[in-house]
Chain A
Amino acid sequence: DTEVTQTPKHLVMGMTNKKSLKCEQHMGHRAMYWYKQKAKKPPELMFVYSYEKLSINESVPSRFSPECPNSSLLNLHLHALQPEDSALYLCASSQQISGGAYEQYFGPGTRLTVT
C-alpha cells in the first residue's frame, strides 16, 4: 500500500478561524513533509519531520504550526491565516530523509481557501 491520505479535501476558513489539516500514512515511513502549492506552480517545501522530530522549517510564518503525534500522523494547525495562504496543501512521506533513493509519496492534498 503506497497511500498517503489527507483530510479534509477542501477547507474554507475565515482569517480569524483555527483549523487543522491531517495526514496519515501506513507505509512505515519515518519522514513526513508538508508542501504548499499555488496554482500552476511546483510545490514549495514547508516542513520536514524525521523520526517524529521537526527537521526542517523553511522559514514558514508562525500562523502555520506542524505537529507529528506519532510515526503515522502529521498535522498542520492553521491560525489567523491570510488570503494569500489559499493554496493546495500537500503531505508526503518517504522511508527516510536521506538520499534520492527514498522517493516521496504524496497525498491528494487539501484545497484551502481563506476568506
Chain B
Amino acid sequence: AQSVTQLDSHVSVSEGTPVLLRCNYSSSYSPSLFWYVQHPNKGLQLLLKYTSAATLVKGINGFEAEFKKSETSFHLTKPSAHMSDAAEYFCVVVDSNYQLIWGAGTKLIIKP
C-alpha cells in the first residue's frame, strides 16, 4: 500500500533564506506525487506534481521538488522564503485506486 511521511510537523526559517520541506513515500510502483499548500482558513492549492517525467519539477511561486527513487523522497524546496509562504504544506501520493494519500502536513513559519 502507498503511504507518505512528512518528516517535520513544523519548519521555521527566516525571510530570504532557503526552505526545505521533507517528504518520503512508500509505493510498490512508480508513483504520482503532489505538493499542495493551504494558507490559513483557505482551500488547497496545487504547488506542483510529479508524474514520471522529469525528476526535477518546477511549481508555482518559486517552489520546486526533486523525485529521488533511490531515496523514496520528494522534498520541496525554495531558494528564498517570503512572508507570504507561511502556510501548511501537504505531500500527497496517488494510490492504486487513484485516490490521494495525504501526509500529515508541515507548517512553514517565516520569521521576519
Contacts and interface: CB of A to CB of B under 8 A. Distances in A.
Interface of A: 4, 6, 40-43, 45, 48, 56, 90, 92, 97-101, 103-109, 111
Interface string B20-41: 0000000000011110100001
A40 B107 CA distance: 9
Contacts of B99: 45, 48, 56
Interface of B: 31-34, 36, 41-46, 49, 51, 90, 94, 98-100, 102-105
A43 B102 contact: yes
9 contacts: A6-B43, A42-B105, A45-B100, A103-B49, A104-B100, A106-B43, A106-B44, A109-B42, A111-B41
A45 B41 CA distance: 19
Contacts of B104: 41-42
A98 B36 CA distance: 19
Contacts of A106: 36, 43-45
